[in-house]
Structure 1
Amino acid sequence: MTSTPHHQRILDRPFVLDLFAGPGGLDVAAHVLGVPSLGIEWDRSACLTRYAAGLDTLHADVSAIRREAFEALPPEINVLAGGPPCQTYSVAGSGVGRKALDQVKGYIERLMAGDPDENIDKELQKLTDPRTALVLEPLRYAIQATRSPNRGNRPYDVIVLEQVPAVEALWDHYALVLENIGLPDGTKYKVKVDVLDTETYGVPQTRSRAVLIARREELGEPFLPKPTHLAYEAKEWNRRSGGATAQTHQPALDEEIAPVPAPRRGEDDAPKPWVSMGKALPGREKPFLVRSNYGSSGNPGRRGVRTDQQPAATVTGRISRFVVFEHLDENIVYEGPRFSMNEAGMLQSFPPDYPWSGTAQAQQVGNAVPPLFGAHLLGAALGLPAPGPEALRKPWVPATEEQRAKLRSHGCGSADDCTASCPRPEDQAPPRSAPRKKKAAAG
Structure 2
Amino acid sequence: MVNIENANQEALSKLLNARPVLIDMGIAKDVIPGLKEKMFLHAGPPIKWENMSGPMRGAVIAGILYEGLAKTPEEAEELAASGEITFEPNHHHHSVGPMAGVITPNMPVFIVENKEYGNKSFTNMMEGLGKTMRMGAYSQEVIERLKWMKEVLYPNLKAGIRESAKEGGIDLKYIIAQALHMGDELHNRNKAGTSLFVRLLAPYMIEASDNKKGPAEVIRFLDKNDIFFVNLAMAAAKASLEPAHGVEGSSLVTIMSRNGTEFGIKVSGLGDEWFTAPAAVPEVLLFPGFTREDVNPDIGDSAIMETLGVGGFALAAAPAIVQFIGGTYQDSVNYTKEMYEIVIGENNVYTIPSFNFRGTPTGIDVLKVAETGITPILDTGVACKRAGVGQVGAGIVRTPMGAFEKAAERFAEKYLG
Report the TM-score when normalising by structure 1: 0.24
Looking at secondary structure, tell me which structure has more strand per residue: 2
Q: Who wins on radius of gyration, i.e. which is larger?
A: 1
Report the TM-score when normalising by structure 2: 0.25
